[in-house]
Structure 1
Amino acid sequence: MKKTILSLALITLFGASAIANPIKKETKKVNTSESSVVWKGYKVGGSHTGTIDLKSGVLEFDGEKLVGGEFVVDMSTINATDLEGDYKNKLDGHLKSDDFFGTANHPTAKLVFTKVKSTGKNSYDVTGDLTIKGNTEPVSFVVSVYGDKATATLKVDRTKYDVKYGSGIIGTAKDKLIYDEFDLVVDLQM
């Protein structure tokens, strides 16, 4: 009987403590001017790299644990950083055209975290809904968080978002064949 009364008293004490001190969810706004998104696309004859600007972003925490996030990318800022002059201007224009991201009709892309699972002290497996050109598909990736910094690397299959230019087309010249997946390397400052 004494053990039952003691157990009930401890449950009541800890239960009341949890209600009195709930874990506060915190939303940390991403500093878009200090953060970076680098893309790398591959073709049979090589690759191209560039950047794209974040328009807005937040990470959500429950205490110190990452629980959510949402980001909007300004597609009109997509640009190549491995080229100069006319070649750069031509590629930048083509990436913004309807052949690729159609930025006139789709000026932003969006990522919303739908599931976050802790895999270590600073590491999380994340699943999110990525919307490009009005098409939403799930993506999975790893996010690492260190204080006010976070990093992630995503592989994106562009064909799922109706970005199919140069994708395995029979008769396409070898140096024009573009791989379906491209990489995004994201460094966030909060």
Structure 2
Amino acid sequence: MKKNVISLALAVVFGTALQAGNPVDGEKKTVKTESSTVTWKAYKVTGSHTGTVNLNSGSLEFEAGKLIGGEFEVDMTSLISTDLEGEYKGKLEGHLKSDDFFGVETHPTSKLVFTNVTASGKNSYEVTGDLTIKGITKPITFDVSIYGSKATATLKVDRAEYNVRYGSGSFFENLGDKTIYDEFDLVVDLEF
């Protein structure tokens, strides 16, 4: 009996000590892809175009209520234009999906993985992540705001870094009013 009590006491002491030594994992929250949106806006000398692209999957990781990580995959085959209709809409979407731009047949997904998250305010964070487009991964820094079960972010992406060359003044000279600017915006609204 005395031996059983000592064994039980040792098990409790060592079990508690082992539990205390293991950090509590962060809470991973899955993003609701059907109610989250990714809107893009690209600019050219003579105007701009807007559209959307769908999330395949996404998650945000929290610890003690603070954002500490995230990971997202985008379905590049879902890329559409929302500012055009009919024939011009189809032509633009086809061109954006072609090898001139995002080459979605070869690269059907893009990915973003948070590598560093720093609180910058009550509900705000500065995030650095690895963004992969067309199989090329580059770091990107942007701000994220979290309100309850919603998050928003605006990213400015330089397409030239991902070998998206068509109409780029960084790769071609004398394009004049055919120039398409390298930077495009992504506005992300997430629900989780």
Q: Which amino acid aligns with 2:174?
A: G
Deviation at 1:21, TM superposition (A): 10
State the partner residue of 1:10.
Answer: none
Q: Percent identity, please.
A: 65
State the partner residue of 1:187.
Answer: 189
State the partner residue of 2:100.
Answer: 99
State the partner residue of 1:74.
Answer: 75
**1:72 is paired with a residue of what secondary structure?**
strand
Q: Which amino acid aligns with 1:146?
A: Y
**2:33 is paired with a residue of what secondary structure?**
coil
Q: Which amino acid aligns with 2:128?
A: T
Q: After superposition, where does 1:26-37 map in structure 2 within 5 Å?
A: 26-37=27-38
State the partner residue of 2:173.
Answer: 170
Answer whether contact 1:29 1:58 (CA < 8 A) is retained: yes
Q: Which amino acid aligns with 2:184?
A: F
Are 1:44 and 2:39 an aligned pair?
no
State the partner residue of 1:25.
Answer: 26
Normalising to structure 1: TM-score of the pair? Answer: 0.88
Normalising to structure 2: TM-score of the pair? Answer: 0.87
State the partner residue of 1:150.
Answer: 151
State the partner residue of 2:63.
Answer: 62
Q: Which amino acid aligns with 1:177?
A: T
The Cα RMSD (Å) is: 1.6
Deviation at 1:23, TM superposition (A): 4.8
Answer whether contact 1:166 1:172 (CA < 8 A) is retained: yes
Q: Which amino acid aligns with 1:88?
A: K
| Aligned equivalents of 1:58, 1:167: Cα separation in 2 | 33
Q: Which amino acid aligns with 1:161?
A: Y
| Aligned equivalents of 2:137, 2:22: Cα separation in 1 | 38
Gaps of at least 5 residues in structure 1 are 1-15
Deviation at 1:89, TM superposition (A): 0.1
**2:118 is paired with a residue of what secondary structure?**
strand
State the partner residue of 2:85.
Answer: 84
| Aligned equivalents of 1:77, 1:182: Cα separation in 2 | 17
| Aligned equivalents of 1:155, 1:27: Cα separation in 2 | 26
Q: Which amino acid aligns with 1:121?
A: K
Gaps of at least 5 residues in structure 2 are 1-16
Task: Provide, for residues 37-95 of structure 1, a one-character-per-residue CA deviation record: whole Å limited to 9, x for no partner.
Answer: 00000000000000000000000000210000000000001110000000000000000
Q: Which amino acid aligns with 1:77?
A: S
| Aligned equivalents of 1:155, 1:48: Cα separation in 2 | 15
**1:166 is paired with a residue of what secondary structure?**
coil
| Aligned equivalents of 1:146, 1:31: Cα separation in 2 | 15
Q: Which amino acid aligns with 1:172?
A: L
**1:33 is paired with a residue of what secondary structure?**
helix
| Aligned equivalents of 2:102, 2:93: Cα separation in 1 | 11
